[in-house]
A and B are shown apart, each in its own frame.
Chain A
């Protein structure tokens, strides 16, 4: 089992489930277009290594160890797609396959440089999928910009797993940890009370990728989908289960 195929499986589980729900073996075999038997074998191996929780009846679910790898690879993949499309002007239909090859070789350092080069993008070229937050311990992209001369070792890593508000269901809560986006939006969110560490609760999610209504500091605020997907919160463990 190569590192590359581990990453591919973990990424697949992450992409298929998105909301952290268990994924059936059939779904994975459909995704890779290979026989369920060989998928089962692979999933069992991943479970042995502690990347996933596997149960023949309920399907597979990423552990926090697996989630971290899956998220990093997904992030690299989507950043690469953005780079291939926006900078190298490669067609939308081709970027996915090429990014799939490159994502495993991209170092963490190159990933962060790519993110800065592309001006902290939040979505893939097809505007469909949100690029996961980076693992650096910043509370905004501007914090990252001013530390451009520092190495990754010096900056360190974020301890907790972050979830975008737009991926949360009604009733979930957590602490604001990172906001991606340009200065004006960031300032506006700070003014409305979304400072780092603030507890927020998802009150209502409008259908058809509409806004998310959150409650904080005794007030209620609606955030459009494109803003909500860039507000990342740290969800407490019991809340994360079944998110």
Chain B
């Protein structure tokens, strides 16, 4: 460890035994997570922000004896209330008072990044500017005068190339210094055009004297009121209606002067300032064609682009299935040595219980992990490199048919491997409505377990033609139900507004760590459910509880779907994991030749209903975790209804044909 940095002056020095808190803030794709990785090493914890579907990453850092907690805020462009990410970030900064905010900025897109920096300055937080990706900027012919930038902003500016670890020490050192002098060194005050500035000052004095919303800087509250920010208006309105009224009058005056509404004027003024600062501080020489430009051409060309997109999607699926299948087989063979995997439905109650628990563990190990790890690895790779953005660009118009935009393609594809991580990855969508629509479509996607069902019940006895037909029906159902959900779920589809960031070589260590922490958080959700669910249902069966239940639902299974009474038991077993429908049938009938007990029509109907009738338990639990129980139950019921309709129709139509 190096010596403690010397801190001059009489400023109040925070005691060394207290932990400092750094918050990383900035636009998306500026290299924040790479920086976060360098700072925190292996100490990361990824969870959710309380009550939100937004990932919260936190880690610790030991810098010259000082313990520092680093919080990685979501990548955002502004502090308006457009998205949950923006609300989460600004509430964190204002209410939890981190000791320093490190604003990570992409040096190649200085102007647009400074728009956000200006908003951080307005929040009057201790700030350090991390000017990242300086190498990429140089390649584009951009040079930046750090001194000028520091003067204009009134905050330390530290150049870094996070991917190579350059400048990290300097950055931390600067940040620690600012953090220890917390309160004494604030960024420069952002000044607006004179006629607006006057009005902001007046309003801010009123807010200050009445001590409204003291947790936020009064000037910031004044600006937010003029921007018509619903959250802040609600907060101020509950204390003082006068201030709201004054703000409305001022906003109207601004409109009279500028012929544009105050929120638009403020955005324009901030951009004018950002543009002024970046023009003074940066020098742009002639642009050269870079490798990135060539890749851009290949990925978004009007013909070639589709091939590239198809290649990326196909490659991702192929990679996941090949690696996943290989690992899955390997693991289940390995586990068979320990104990039989097929459901045991008789014998001592403890034997059944153990078999159930073990079956649950096996389900987790063989169905989730082998598919999730390779998928996450490859997904992070194409996400970080910038290829995913181009695929979304090309596929946008197709996804519009089910009310989603280009980005939703990725979770949907992932659903073909396993629904659980697919639903978790819906968080790449902007609005809750889109996340929900995508998650709903995913619950119909033919995952690995459903594929086993199709293969085991249909392909094995009736040929691969029928299996393919079932696959086709399932995909058609995704689109039909997607369109139905679009009509039912209130709200408008948001159009695509997506930054096309430059191509980058992804950092393997970042990808590796991200994959590991994501897999870990998934294991925590899925495993307990698998184990408890699997044990419970098998015990119920062994105790003879399932028989009466199965008799009770006979009108549906026998009357409507034309299945034998025993199918009720199979479908209940299948709630935990879908292949139990197949494995349970083998165990109950005591034979692998199911054709002796079920007619071809019954096999097809059972497979169809089995695919559709409910998402598996772990899918339901992930739905509940990310969208609430109400959504999880509604989606499950929609699945159930679909299964009844499709199954009933299939039974009747097929009975005529076969």
Contacts and interface: CB of A to CB of B under 8 A. Distances in A.
* Max chain A C-beta neighbours (<10 A), residue from B115, B264, B497: B497
B393 A222 contact: yes
Contacts of B500: 213, 220-222
B22 to A, nearest CB: 25
Interface stretch (A37-45, A86-94, A183-191): A183-191
Contacts of A219: 109, 111-112, 499
Interface in B93-148: 108-112, 115
A227 B497 contact: yes
B396 A210 contact: yes
Nearest to A215: B500
Contacts of A53: none
B275 A209 contact: no
Interface string B388-406: 0100111011101000011
Nearest to A189: B497
Contacts, number: 134
B271 interface: yes
Interface string A214-227: 00011111111111
A227 B496 contact: yes
Contact of B499 (A208, A221, A225): A221
Interface string A115-147: 000000000000000000000011110110010
Nearest to A140: B264
Given A222-B496, A224-B405, A192 B112 contact: yes
Contact of B268 (A187, A195, A211): A195
A52 to B, nearest CB: 32
* Max chain A C-beta neighbours (<10 A), residue from B77, B108, B255, B259: B259
A143 B259 contact: yes
A198 B499 CA distance: 17
Contact of A206 (B110, B389, B394): B394
A172 interface: no
B82 interface: yes
A184 B497 CA distance: 12
B264 A208 contact: no
Interface in B615-658: none
Nearest to A139: B260
B388 to A, nearest CB: 12
A226 B492 CA distance: 12
A204 interface: yes
A196 interface: yes
A221 B261 contact: no
B495 interface: yes
Interface in A176-205: 182, 184-193, 195-198, 204
A56 interface: no
A217 B282 CA distance: 13
Contact of A207 (B108, B252, B275, B302): B302
B497 A217 contact: no
Given A193-B115, A206-B305, A206-B396, A198 B271 contact: yes
B80 interface: yes
A224 B497 CA distance: 7
A186 B278 CA distance: 24
A218 B396 contact: no
B264 A222 contact: no
Interface string A138-180: 1110110010000000000000000000000000000000000
Interface string B410-432: 00000000000000000000000
Contact of B255 (A143, A191, A204): A143
Contacts of A142: 261
B44 interface: no
Interface string B200-231: 00000000000000000000000000000000
A146 B261 contact: yes
Contacts of A185: 494-495, 497
A190 B405 contact: no
B353 to A, nearest CB: 53
Contact of B397 (A143, A218, A221, A225): A225
Given A143-B255, A218-B111, A221-B497, A195 B264 contact: yes
B499 A204 contact: no
A186 B499 CA distance: 16
Nearest to A195: B268
Nearest to A155: B259
B596 interface: no
27 contacts: A138-B259, A139-B264, A143-B260, A143-B261, A146-B255, A184-B494, A186-B264, A191-B80, A191-B82, A191-B115, A193-B115, A197-B268, A206-B302, A206-B305, A206-B397, A207-B302, A210-B393, A211-B496, A213-B393, A219-B111, A219-B499, A222-B389, A222-B499, A223-B497, A224-B396, A224-B495, A227-B495
Given A137-B259, A186-B264, A225-B400, 13 more contacts: A139-B260, A143-B261, A187-B263, A188-B497, A191-B78, A193-B115, A195-B267, A213-B300, A219-B109, A222-B496, A224-B400, A226-B495, A227-B495
Interface of A: 137-140, 142-143, 146, 182, 184-193, 195-198, 204, 206-211, 213, 217-227
4 closest A-B pairs by beta carbon, nearest first, are: A224-B496, A191-B78, A224-B495, A227-B495
